[in-house]
Amino acid sequence: MNPTALVVGTTLAGLTTALQLARRGYAVTLLDQPTRHDTSAQHEPEKDALPPVLMGCHTATSALLDTLGTADSVQFNDRIGFELLANRRLIRLRCPPLPAPLHALAGLAIFTGMPMRDRWRFLMWVERTWEQDPALPVDLDSHTAEAWLRGIGQSEFARSHAWTPLSRFLVGDDVRTISAATLLSTLMRCFLSSRRHSQLAVPLLPMDRLLHQPLRKAVIDIGVSLKTGYADRLTFSRQAVTGVQLKARDALTADWYILALPHEHVTPLLPERVLTRFSYFQHIDALVDTPAVAVHLRIDQPVHSPRVLLLTERTFHWMCVKPADDDPHTVISFVMTGEPQWLDRPDKDLLDCAGEDLQDVVPAFSAAQRLSHHIVREPRACLSMKPGTTAHRPLQRSPFSNLLLAGEWTDTGLPSTVESAIVSGNRCAQIIADQTQG
């Protein structure tokens, strides 16, 4: 008889875990427990919490898209680059066709959006770090990226006009908020490890049609049993989970249990004695999320290729411009993160600010007619990677032998992104397979 697994939650991490376990021959039950959407479950182009922008370093995402047959809709290339707003001009961060990491270092050397002195100081810091003279501090996760950048000689202009826009796009918060370790590891993975990793792709399809719907279909097609309900609590023996009690008074049992829920939904399922005994679960309540507000406009003016614009001294922090997937129009998405005071602002204020930013940044679109719009307010868009957060992110394997946690918020070594969710799901499936075979 095949081993059984119960996955609680149809988040991207949960669906990934279910698919990978089913492909390995496990009898999988997936509990469809509606919650807030994680970063993966986004619907319709204008309703995406964030516009879909992928980087070449999202290798797990690319592999899953290939499995689902939607990889052809994602084209990575060097023509789409970050355009940073500096001195009221958009300046593209270009990476020349050189081997990694020379491509990124050369790109920084010629990037005129940052003063020459800052570029030189950063390149010298990279060279010294490679030579371990001095070695990287071991306590980078306890300091903000702002403090680290200041310490290596980056000016206030460079921190606010180059590093903060990149930080907001890559991690979801500015350099005054995130840890130095998070920014540094993200920069190294995105720009210094592989030339392909720094490439961008802006799919025309929304993430729901690109990833979530095909994944859900694949899970059902492979034979995963899908049940709808709400988990009320987990029941335990001394060393293992014995079942999941549903609010409808039914109970589900399996050999393996995977909680694939947003982190704020995990600890309410656990009895007090478990929370009191294990610091593993106590750390989860210390995690904090970052909000996001996105305004998506559809205009009647066509555009031929996508663009990703990183902004400073504007209301919104970055913009994505892309052709609409179903007509000759253009979809422009404006994104701000880490600004909770904007969650309750009226739609008119947000639309006015988006119009002002559009006129200032891309004046060629300012005369276009707005055909439609949609505004998304997400109080919990992604995990805040402030100093010390890494210590609170749990590993996928819990203190109980048959219980695992899956989610973009778990410890994957990545920011809280679609890639992190998929990596987490893959790891859960691999842990179970390794332990079962062992």
Cα dihedral value 89, 178, 412, 425, nearest 10? -70
Look up the domain containing 108 and give its range.
94-198
| Count of CA atoms in the C-beta half-sphere (13 A) of 1 | 6
- CB within 8 A of 390, min separation 6: which ones? 141, 179, 181, 182, 411
- The string of DSSP letters for 386-438 reads -TTHHHHSPPSB-SSTTEEE-STTSSSSS-SSHHHHHHHHHHHHHHHHHHHH-
| Best CA proximity match to 49, nearest among 308, 362, 375 | 375
Q: d(Cα 184, Cα 166) in Å, to the nearest integer?
A: 11
Task: Calculate the alpha carbon distances from 42 to 9, 48, 267, 303 in Å.
Answer: 15, 5, 25, 24
pTM, entire model: 0.94
Residues 282 and 394 in one domain: yes
Which of 383, 402, 418 represents a domain boundary (last residue)? 383
Phi, psi of 368 (to 5 degrees): -70, 150
Phi, psi of 391 (to 5 degrees): -70, -20
Residues 184 and 115 in one domain: yes
Residues 240 and 352 in one domain: no
Provide the 3-class DSSP secondary structure of residue 125: helix
Q: Is 140 a domain residue?
A: yes
Residue 227: Cβ within 10 Å count: 13
- CB within 8 A of 302, min separation 6: which ones? 323, 328, 329, 330
Which of 338, 358, 383 represents a domain boundary (last residue)? 383
Residue with tokens 């698919």: 19
Phi, psi of 27 (to 5 degrees): -85, 105
Q: d(Cα 16, Cα 64) in Å, to the nearest integer?
A: 8
Query: Residue 188's Cα: distance from chain center in Å?
Result: 16
Q: Is 86 a domain residue?
A: no
Note the pLDDT of residue 242: 96
Residue with tokens 């690109």: 210
Q: Is 68 a domain residue?
A: no
Q: Which two tokens stand for residue 57?
A: 């370093």
**What one-letter code names the amino acid at 170?**
L
Q: Which two tokens stand for residue 193?
A: 């490890």
Residue 263: Cβ within 10 Å count: 25
Residues 329 and 182 in one domain: no
Note the pLDDT of residue 129: 86
Q: d(Cα 191, Cα 26) in Å, to the nearest integer?
A: 38
Residues 357 and 232 in one domain: no
- The count of domains in the chain is 3
Residues 99 and 191 in one domain: yes
| Best CA proximity match to 372, nearest among 306, 437, 320, 296 | 296
Task: Calculate the alpha carbon distances from 2 to 6, 22, 155, 425, 434 in Å.
Answer: 13, 10, 60, 20, 15
Q: Is 302 a domain residue?
A: yes
Q: Is 69 a domain residue?
A: no
Cβ(418)–Cβ(211) under 8 Å?
A: yes
Residues 341 and 301 in one domain: yes
302 cis-preceded (ω within 30 degrees of 0): no
Residues 420 and 283 in one domain: yes
| Best CA proximity match to 382, nearest among 162, 138, 186, 190 | 186
Which of 172, 198, 224 represents a domain boundary (last residue)? 198
- CATH assignment at residue 293: 3.90.660.20
Residue 18: Cβ within 10 Å count: 34
| Count of CA atoms in the C-beta half-sphere (13 A) of 385 | 33
Q: Which two tokens stand for residue 377?
A: 């307010």
Note the pLDDT of residue 49: 77
Note the pLDDT of residue 436: 86
pLDDT in tens, the chain (438 residues): 789 999 999 999 999 999 999 999 999 999 998 765 444 333 343 356 788 899 999 999 999 999 999 999 998 887 888 999 887 889 999 888 899 889 999 999 999 999 999 999 999 999 888 887 777 888 999 999 999 999 999 999 999 999 999 999 999 999 999 999 999 999 999 999 889 999 999 998 888 999 999 999 999 999 999 999 999 999 999 889 999 999 888 899 999 999 999 999 999 999 999 999 999 999 999 999 999 999 999 999 888 889 999 999 999 999 999 998 777 899 999 999 999 999 999 999 999 999 999 999 999 887 889 899 999 999 999 999 999 999 999 999 999 999 999 999 999 999 999 999 999 999 999 999 999 875
Residues 215 and 271 in one domain: yes
Q: Is 77 a domain residue?
A: no
Note the pLDDT of residue 169: 96
Q: Is 51 a domain residue?
A: no
Residues 279 and 297 in one domain: no
- CATH assignment at residue 415: 3.50.50.60
Q: Is 84 a domain residue?
A: no
**What one-letter code names the amino acid at 428?**
C
Residues 113 and 257 in one domain: no
Residues 222 and 193 in one domain: no
